[in-house]
Amino acid sequence: INELPYDRARTTMAPFEMCPACRSEYEDVLDRRFHAQPVACNDCGPQYTLYTPEGSLENLDAILLALTGILEGGGTAAIKGMGGYFLACDATNAIAVEKIRALKIRESKPFAVLFSNMDAVKKYCDPGLSEAEAIASWKRPIVLLASEKSLAPGVSMGFPTIGAMLPYMPFHYLLFEKTYLDALVLTSGNLSDEPIIIDDDQAIETFRPRCDAVLTYNRKIENRVDDSVTMVVNGTERLLRRSRGYVPTPIYLNSDVDGIIATGAELVNCFCVGKGQQAFMSQHIGDLKNLETYEFYTESMDRFIHLFRIEPRLMVSDMHPDYLSTAFAKQSGLEWYQVQHHHAHIVSCMAEHGLDELVLGVAFDGVGMGDDGAIWGGEFLISNPVSYQRFAHFDYVPMPGGDAATLNPWRMAVAYLYRIYGAGIQDLDLPFLKAVDPSHQEMVIRMIEKGINCPPASSVGRLFDAVSAMLGLCHESGFHAEAPMRLESCIERGDWVPYEVHIGRSVNVDRMVEQIVHDIQNRVPAGRMARRFHQTMVSVIENMACKARDMHGINKVVLSGGSFQNRYLSYHAEDRLKGHGFEVYTHRKVPCNDGGIALGQILIAAKKRASGEWGGGRSQ
């Protein structure tokens, strides 16, 4: 759709003149295709073309025959989808999967898999009832499912889950009708961090030399949109990436957000525009630091403003001065407001549930700029949608090298160990340190000693990184959040007790780190340590919530921030808090990661505006 109201003339179907047969159906009130805007048939609708090294094919039967032959033979294909190009191959063929991995430079994330039908899903995965419902919904998201039986090893990259989905385009059905294959890798067609390709010429130029086939069709993709990703925890669907099928369905709020533009965060960006009491969240945009992604961001923003006829009057952004989304708001020339990152996380969840009262917000994530200039990410905030008070937080620990620490979890492990053992950590005989160049270790220790480029961080995400590295699971991060994901996926079943932490005004984990070192030295299995660490995090949340209730009488707890993508943490924190009689609120409609933050930003701005507190100040 390029304009509203929704009429064929204002869609990408406009260039396709209906044939007499389709037109008569379109105009017949009694026909089920009456006024159906995308009506078309094989004669008058979009046409497919398949490019192979031998030439091009236009006949659909010939295309299906050639394409299934290529895929069955272990070849790779770029396939034009609804919101962009995708790369496909047989998900059971290790060599084919490796070809796709090589094609997507530096990409080491697990790949999504398109299954032919529910039987095929069940052949490889073990979906629960709500998961089966989620995967079969018309929105056709990628659903993270537990999987014992592996496809090719390069699909899941050692994780015990598969991102599974069912066909969502007529072409997918036609393809599976013609092949014995029942599981295809279907991953976004882009090179490393760039946005998914939507332009036909660019796709042909990029993929023709790299793939065995490129399948395209002559209908333009107006809106770039990735597949959505969800998981099911405690019987409810949790969005990890909100895109195709979910966007642009508005989120209804109890406040007037008209004319407000929330510019989101940086790494996992989504923005939000306000119309009346409706918040329109954008599709997943990605990492704004990439130039192509930033262009996608500004184009999508223009499109949303145009499509929903928004008159921008206020901008709201994060406080981080280096975020491109902050710079975007600053340059707009409109009145501009900045809100604290974790307050926005908590309020985004409050917005979903229409909460206006004081809550205890537990915001656990990687990094976000705090009011004191430090990096926050392990925060207990007593919040309402207008303001907050920092009730407690995890202790500050230096992040050696800033962003370099995010990419190298071993640096965070050294930072935590240094607090206890000083420069003597190299004598601890920890196996994970043997994998790191000693000169690099020396350098990081010197950085910490001298306080050079070591911003203080209270980040729980970085603590997960540190523990994952100490356990030898991930010392360098191949993709965003790999270290915490590896840590979660190795959790062993069993009845263990949490580690000890000191909970005062802040949370001090030194004792836990000592106990982990002791366990490592005693060759305790990583899965057991991972479980005890997760249990510890749950008990910190439990303790803090009880403390906040005793001191302030608050009985509502809101869980937000990217760390709650961790299924164990999410499930057990909710469960434990409910056991204590707390009312617990978690995300349903937007992701708990930074992709949901714009919803919090827009509501904070709206409440401030309504209360007359507006004045270009900050969110507290």
Q: Which is nearer to Fe ion, 116 or 459 (CB)?
A: 459
Q: 502 with 510: CB under 8 angstroms? A: yes
d(CA 363, CA 384): 14
Computed over its alpha carbons, how large is the radius of gyration of the chain? 25
Minimum distance from CB of 594 to Fe ion (Å)? Answer: 4
Q: Which is nearer to Fe ion, 448 or 481 (CB)?
A: 481
Terminal Cα-to-Cα distance of the chain (whole angstroms): 40
For 354: left if phi > 0, alpha if psi spans -120 to 50, otherwise beta; the answer is: left
Cα atoms in the 13 Å half-sphere on the side-chain side of 2: 11
Minimum distance from CB of 563 to Fe ion (Å)? Answer: 9
How far is CA 38 from each of CA 6, 139, 465, rounded to the nearest angstrom? Answer: 11, 18, 48
Cis check for the bond before 195: say yes or no (omega within 30 of 0): no
Residue type (1 letter), 1? I
Cα 238 to the chain's mean position, in Å?
A: 11
Q: Which is nearer to Fe ion, 155 or 344 (CB)?
A: 344
Report the residue number whose CB is nearest to Fe ion.
Answer: 365
Q: 326 with 272: CB under 8 angstroms? A: no
Q: Which is nearer to Fe ion, 96 or 466 (CB)?
A: 466
Residue type (1 letter), 226? D
Minimum distance from CB of 540 to Fe ion (Å)? Answer: 18
Minimum distance from CB of 104 to Fe ion (Å)? Answer: 26
Q: Which is nearer to Fe ion, 274 or 368 (CB)?
A: 368
Minimum distance from CB of 541 to Fe ion (Å)? Answer: 17
Q: Which is nearer to Fe ion, 65 or 374 (CB)?
A: 374
Minimum distance from CB of 500 to Fe ion (Å)? Answer: 28
Minimum distance from CB of 287 to Fe ion (Å)? Answer: 13
Q: Which is nearer to Fe ion, 87 or 347 (CB)?
A: 347
d(CA 586, CA 563): 12
Q: Which is nearer to Fe ion, 182 or 594 (CB)?
A: 594
Three-state secondary structure of 323-391: CHHHHHHHHCCCEEEEECHHHHHHHHHHHHHCCCCCEEEEEEEEEEECCCCCEEEEEEEEECCCCEEEE
d(CA 172, CA 181): 12
Burial of 37 per CB tally in 10 Å (0-12, 13-18, 19+) = middle
Minimum distance from CB of 559 to Fe ion (Å)? Answer: 13
Q: Which is nearer to Fe ion, 171 or 380 (CB)?
A: 380
Minimum distance from CB of 44 to Fe ion (Å)? Answer: 48
d(CA 584, CA 617): 31
d(CA 468, CA 589): 30
Minimum distance from CB of 161 to Fe ion (Å)? Answer: 23
Q: 591 with 619: CB under 8 angstroms? A: no
Binding site for Fe ion (CB under 5 A): 365, 368, 594
Minimum distance from CB of 361 to Fe ion (Å)? Answer: 12
Q: Which is nearer to Fe ion, 203 or 381 (CB)?
A: 381
Minimum distance from CB of 31 to Fe ion (Å)? Answer: 50
Q: Which is nearer to Fe ion, 346 or 487 (CB)?
A: 346
Q: Which is nearer to Fe ion, 219 or 341 (CB)?
A: 341
Helix axes 324-331, 291-307, angle to 10 degrees: 50
Q: 91 with 183: CB under 8 angstroms? A: yes
Residues near 599 by beta carbon (within 8 Å), at least 6 away in sequence: 251, 262, 272, 279, 281, 347, 348, 351, 352, 590
How far is CA 419 from each of CA 397, 413, 424, rounded to the nearest angstrom? Answer: 8, 10, 11
The Cα angle at residue 59 between residues 39 and 226, in degrees rounded to 5: 60
Minimum distance from CB of 320 to Fe ion (Å)? Answer: 10
Q: Which is nearer to Fe ion, 352 or 594 (CB)?
A: 594
